[in-house]
Amino acid sequence: MIKYYNLGANKRLNEIVMAGSHDAGITGGDKNVQTQDLDIAGQATAGVRVFDLRVAVAAKSTQPGAAKEAELKSFHADGKLMKNETKSRFVPEVNRVETVTRTKLRGGTFGLGLAGMLQQAKAFVENNDTEFLILKFDKCTNWELIAEVCVSELAGTLYKDAGNLNSKRLKDLKGHVIVLFTQGGLTAIPQQYKGAGGILGIKNLSAGGAYDDQYEGMQYFGKGGTSVVKAYGKIGQNEKKQSKLMSRGATGDPDVMGMMYWTSTGVNESIRKRNDKMWNAKNTNSFRRMWESGLAESIESRVASSVDPTNYASASILKAFMPNIVMIDFADDNKCSEIYDLNAVAGVEITFAAQQLDLEMKKAQDQYAELVRKKRI
C-alpha cells in the first residue's frame, strides 16, 4: 500500500503529489454518471488522499405507515436537474426530526451515504496511523447537518489544528481526517464547528484572489470540467484546459497547492470508456508531460525571479508551485501509483533547479562584487 509518510515526516503538504478522487461517492449509476468503482476505504487503500464529495439530503425508504425519513448522501447531477424542497424529516444520522432541504434528482444519481463514508475514513486512519485523508465538500446542501455528522462520526480522528493547511507537515496530519468546506458551507455553519471545531475552509484561487498565509484551511489553484455544448473530444478539451491552468498557476505564489484534473466527465458518453482511454500508454505519457510542464514552468519562473546578487543567502531555497493533487475517476492501485511516482520526479527536478540556482547566484554575486571593486578603483 502507498504510504505518503515515507516521503518524509517533515514534508509539507504543498511539497508532495497525491491522488484525489473526483466525485468520490458515486460508485453506481448510468454510464454517463458513475465515476468510481471502489468505496472510500478501497480508494484510500489504493492511494487516494483527497476526496471530492457533494452531499445532499435524499428520501429514505421506510416501512408503510412509518414516519418519513431522509438521509445524507453523495450525489452527481447538474444543478438544473435538482429539485430542492423544505421538508420535516427524521434524519437517522443525528437521530432526530429536522427541517431539511430534501433533494429530488431528475438526472444524475445519488451515491454512498455520508455516515458510511465517514466511518470508512475514520477506520482507515486508525488502521494506518501515519496516513491522513482530506474530505473536500463542495456544492452541498444542509451544511450544518453535514458538519454535525462529520464532527460526530470522526470523533478521535478529526483534525482540529486550525491554521494554514498548505504548510502543515505530514507529521502534523498523520492519523487524522481533515474536513474542508467551501466558503458557502463555512458561512452556513455555526462558529463552534469552524477552525479548532474541526471544519476548515478550502479556497480556489484560479478565479482570483491572493494567497493568505493566515487562512485556516487549504488554498489551491485549479478547476475541472469541460464545455457542455462540446459533447465529444473530451480528452483533448481537458488536456488543453489543464495545461493552460497549470501555466497560470506556475506564475503565482509557490505555496498555493496545484489541483490538476485528469478526468473527462460529460453528458452523453460513458465516463468509464473515456477514462480507460485517458490511462492508455499514449495518454498516460501526455498526462506526465502535462504535469511535468506545470512544475518546470514554475521552476523556470522561480529561478529567474530569485537571482539577487545582493542576497546570496536565499540561493539554497527553492519552493516551486506544483500540481500537488491529481483528481481522477475510477481510482485504483495503478493510477494512484503513477501519481505517487511523480514525487520522485518532483524531487529530482527541484534539487537540480536548486543546484542551478546556486550556480547562477554565485555567478551573479561574483559579477556584482567585480562591479563594486571597479567602482572603488
Per residue in 232-243, pLDDT (tens digit) is 667 778 888 888
Structural domain boundaries in the chain: 8-376
> Taking the CB of residue 277, how many other CB atoms lie within 10 A of it?
13
For the stretch 114-159, pLDDT in tens is 999 999 999 999 999 999 999 999 999 999 999 999 999 999 999 9
Higher pLDDT, 264 or 330: 330
DSSP 3-state of 65: coil
Cα separation values, 252 from 224, 297, 307, 314, Å: 19, 11, 17, 19
Cell numbers describing residue 55: 452531499
3-state secondary structure of 87: strand
C-alpha cell at 180: 474542508
Query: What is the per-residue pLDDT across 273-292, written as a single tens digit (0 to 9) for each?
Result: 888 988 998 888 888 877 87
Mean pLDDT of 166-176: 97
Domain 8-376 has CATH 3.40.718.10: no
3-state secondary structure (DSSP) of residue 290: helix
Q: Which grid cell is 264?
A: 473527462
What is the Cα–Cα distance from 142 to 145, expressed in whole angstroms? 6
Query: Above pLDDT 90, what percent of the chain?
Result: 61
